[in-house]
Chain A
Amino acid sequence: MATQVQAVRMALHVGETRHGVTDIFGEDVGPPLGGVFTATQGLRTAWNSPLDERGVIGAAMGLALAGQRPVCEIQFGDYAFNTIDLLKLAGAMHWSSNGDWSLPMVMMTPVGSGIHGSIYHSHSFDAQATRIPGWKVVMPSTPYDTYGLLLSAIVDPNPVMVLLPKALMRVKARPGELIPGEPDDERVLSKMIDAPLGDRTLWRPEWPETPDVFIPFGKLKRLREGRDVTVVTYGRMVAICERVAANVAEEGIELEVIDLRSLIPYDWDGLVESVSRTRRLLLINEDTEVTNFGEHLARRVTDELFGVLLAPPRVLAGKNLPGIGLSDELEKASVPQPDDIERAVRELAATSFDRGRGPSPRARPAAPTALAPSDMDHREAFARAYAVR
């Protein structure tokens, strides 16, 4: 039962042995450490770079232009922000040259909160990543998906960002979700591919024979079927939403839980299918709420599926704050918590526009009656913080 970091390692091993990966690099990525989360231990093509994120992205771009297959790591998503113009340039390479060049590179970076990472080890990057056209963006929530999406990223002819939820790095696969070929016993796998403590100079990993798994981009994963509310999420929030779904099921509220997995491109057909059935949508992620990726999906669902909706699509995201505070209380107040999600789904499930009488001004989503009472505190706090003074 591989963990997410082990899944990353195994995919990269397959990448460098079978799919032409030439360089796996970034800060502390090579020996002896093999990555601050150990995601790159034991890999033949892993090397340490200078402490220079712009250099890391730039070098990956240059390597890709020169026909190499680079996978670079930004040590924490929090430190990818000073590379944004290079990321834009990478996303523009194919388009701006009118198809003359392509840029097959992978950037992976740990993101999000949940490890008490305080202000600069808790940032999310999905809102930024999804507004850099030309990139594909994935965010796996299980070791198996990590393995399959990372391999798809490696063989894709475009720049692909693999966002790895920090809090899930050590989470194990669920039963039935093993990577084909990995040993059943996690201790055996650890012995094979985890670098020993202490001196590692003579250590070599023993890789299990794992096959190619290419999880298609733009295909969501439905984790739970339900008739009342479609809950669309990704990354760390997936497991939390599943727990909430189990809780509210006892009250008779049936949630359909979807792990989007692939943000760009995303599975629009799959979303349409689900929302058309449940007629209610809750979008959950932990990035800050203003110009959040969930807002795009909510806007599109509003534009294209308004006619079927029984309630306004809701976005539950991180508070629009400069950072996530260290104290547990502060972190809980900053990113969606199980309680928040439960309240939101209960309220959504209880909301039904009266479609029989046709759209009346009173029944429009913008009307105050459509506001979720539990959200009022947050809405007030937000309004005060961002009031025009």
Chain B
Amino acid sequence: MEAAVVQPPHGQPRPLPDETLLKLHELMLTGRVLEERLIRMQKQGDGYFWIGGPGEEAFNVALGMLVHRGEGLAHDYLHLHYRSSATLLAMGADPVDALRQMKNTATDPYSGGRNFAGHASIRRWNVAPISSPIEVQFSMAPGTALAQKRYGGRGITIVQGGDAGTAEGDFATCLIWVSRPSNELPCLMIVTNNEYGISTPAATQHGETRISDRGRAFGIRSKTIDANDAEAAYRELEEAMDYVRTERRPFLLEARVSRLYGHSSSSGANLVKGEVDCLVEIEKKLEDRGLRSRAELDAMRAQKTEELLAAARRVIAEPQPRGHTVWQHVFAERDVVTQNPIPCDNHGGGRRQPWLEQAH
């Protein structure tokens, strides 16, 4: 049984190739500018609620870059949470779609105007619907991981949540279910630790030294990392993911991150002082290594800001969903995951059922 809890890295991570670092940065910048735009939209009344991941971009972008994207068991399954927009961007999502979900338009490809910003669902990339209840994704992750264990290959299940959420039973569920003897599952459990659950400091509720220590009792390889350093985050994720892909066993990764705009729009969504900003850190690196000048960085930011502002203007003019569409998709009429035909003609799907028809 493996039970190595590795200390946070001292010294420097192995440097990334220039082009990887540049790509990381560009995506992080897009992620940040996107969150800033979403916050503005909400404050200007073009959205009811904002929640997102500014401050976590170093880690979340690295994650998205390393995902084996695609549909089905050969690819990675993602059970993410409401701070994951940068991961999706790094996987190739269009930032404009995030704006659409903020404005709850009919064109929102994630939920058709049904769900909050940051609550994506992308079946063609194995991204399970992100939902508001904290930690439930940790109860579902063993299911996709089990299917992948049987399937073989290198696809893994990635599940991510915050620090406070680890107090929920679902986190313990995941620890147990991914480490059943002779049935260890290829599951990367990620805790992005920003040391808060809304307003409650972790230190007032949690006695464990490190959350990652909880993996130890189950023989789950675990590690706590400083995820404000994009290079370190990338390298650590690379290593953890490679272990899970190859060994087909779980890994618990605790990533220390910042929460730069507080919890959500409910707590004001204003920039907080005193937190390390991963974007500032990576830009320092780029300047130090002579990869980008300050002027270039500023120009990039200005351009992205301009682009997303223009996009937001377009999005707010897009149609809202029509009221009667609430009756769509109460029931599935076919299995959209496997496309298997139904061997009988007696189900009637959702809409054809008389009890629903009356309600139309």
Contact = CB atoms under 8 A, between A and B. Distances in A.
23 contacts: A55-B139, A62-B141, A65-B144, A67-B73, A67-B337, A68-B143, A86-B136, A89-B133, A95-B330, A96-B119, A96-B121, A96-B129, A96-B131, A97-B329, A98-B114, A102-B335, A104-B335, A157-B332, A157-B333, A157-B334, A214-B346, A215-B346, A217-B347
Interface stretch (A107-115, A262-270, A343-351, A380-388): A262-270
Interface string A29-66: 00000000000000000000010101101111111111
A96 B94 CA distance: 20
Contact of A66 (B121, B148, B332): B148
Interface in B9-57: none
Contacts of A92: 131
Nearest to A214: B344
B325 to A, nearest CB: 9
Interface stretch (B188-196, B236-244, B352-360): B352-360
A157 B336 contact: yes
Contacts of A217: 346-348
Nearest to A212: B343
B110 A97 contact: yes
B111, B169, B344 interface centre (most CB from chain A within 10 Å): B344
Contacts of B122: 100
A62 B330 contact: no
B286 interface: no
B147 interface: yes
Contact of A101 (B72, B123, B145): B123
Contact of B111 (A61, A96, A152): A96
Given A50-B177, A101-B129, A214-B346, A64 B337 contact: yes
A157 B136 CA distance: 22
Contact of A64 (B143, B177, B333): B143
Contacts of B358: 268
Contacts of B338: 67, 104
Interface of B: 72-73, 77, 79, 108, 110-112, 114-115, 119, 121-123, 128-129, 131, 133, 136, 138-148, 157, 169-170, 173, 176-177, 180, 328-338, 340, 342-344, 346-348, 353-356, 358
Given A55-B177, A157-B332, A218-B353, A101 B147 contact: no
B108, B136, B348 interface centre (most CB from chain A within 10 Å): B136
A387 to B, nearest CB: 36
Contacts of B72: 67
Interface in A130-156: 133-134, 136, 152, 155-156
